[in-house]
Chain A
Amino acid sequence: MFKYFKLGDYLLILSLGLLAIVLMILLPERIISSGNTVLIESRNKLVGRYSLNQDRIVTVDGPLGKAKVRIKRGSVAIISSPCPNQYCVNMGESRSSGSALVCVPNEIIVRVGGNESKELDAISR
């Protein structure tokens, strides 16, 4: 079977493969911009807007009690929460624009905002 195909074919496949790998490394940094603001919502109301670049710990009131949100070195995390499952704490850190940390029982949403057009908001099939 190999005798049918030419050196050019293999070079083409190899270079396209390399191109894909290079794009895979380069694209995410250019497209997923890290955000610059943190928006905190509690009970569906915006309760705070902070810069992602200033380290601080914010205490947020929810229906269940107080949750602590930590902004540190350009990323944000919920570090303590009175909710039973602790999913929001286990979501870890978030830094890219459009991402969010959500605590459903305590009705707290922490969003990372930035360039509006780059937020993920579409489904394609």
Chain B
Amino acid sequence: MTVTERTRKLSRLGLLLALATAIHSLEALIPFSVGWFRFGFANIIGLATLYVFGFRDAFLLTAGRILLGGLISGQFGSPGFLLATAGGLSSIVTMECARQLSGERLSELGVSVIGAVTHNLAQLLVAYVMLVKNDSILLLAPVMILSAIGAGVVNGIAAKFLITRMRSSKF
């Protein structure tokens, strides 16, 4: 890798991290009547980074996005931050596994859906084990899976376009 290539990669990853952090923070401002439902648009960037730059960069980008987003929104260290960390990191790891194991059988759409479902279920599990400790919240699992499918499809389609653009652009 030449110096130019390395510089280009660094600047692109920096831009992606900034974008992911901005999306993450702005999404926290959307007032939803159902408090636990989020689209997780920041995952579009995570998924695109995974496909374009690989697992290591995508993992670091997701961790950085959650950390910076937490600092910006004032959620750092709160239960919400704990949930975001659990969901975000387990989701990026599972998406990498799905991408490697499925070979040609899944496209970005399927990987995105798997990531979204993992994200929600990991959050639910952490909330159950560490925060709520009440069997009743497991009743949310089906609702979480269904909303994750919806969010995963939307994000997967968006990520597909972003990946195509990123691969063909010369910036």
Partners in one complex: yes
A17 CB-CB contact with B under 8 Å = yes
Does A13 lie within 8 Å of B35, measured CB to CB?
A: no
Contacts of B114 in A (CB 8 A): 12
B139 CB-CB contact with A under 8 Å = yes
B117 CB-CB contact with A under 8 Å = yes
Does B149 lie within 8 Å of A17, measured CB to CB?
A: yes
| Interface secondary structure of A, over-half rule | helix
Contacts of A23 in B (CB 8 A): 141-142, 145
Does A6 lie within 8 Å of B106, measured CB to CB?
A: yes
Instruction: Give how many A residues have a beta carbon under 8 Å from the other chain's beta carbons.
Output: 27
Task: Tell me the chain B residues, 12-59 only, with Cβ under 8 Å from chain A.
Answer: 35-36
Task: Tell me the chain A residues, 55-105 only, with Cβ under 8 Å from chain B.
Answer: none
- Band of interface residues on B: 20 to 34
Q: Which of B1-9, B65-73, B129-137 contacts A (4 or more CB under 8 A)?
A: B129-137
A-B contact pairs, 30 of them (CB 8 A): A5-B110, A6-B104, A6-B106, A8-B102, A9-B107, A9-B110, A9-B156, A12-B110, A13-B110, A13-B113, A13-B153, A16-B149, A17-B149, A20-B142, A20-B146, A23-B141, A24-B142, A27-B139, A27-B142, A28-B139, A31-B139, A32-B139, A117-B134, A118-B134, A118-B136, A122-B133, A122-B136, A122-B137, A124-B36, A124-B127
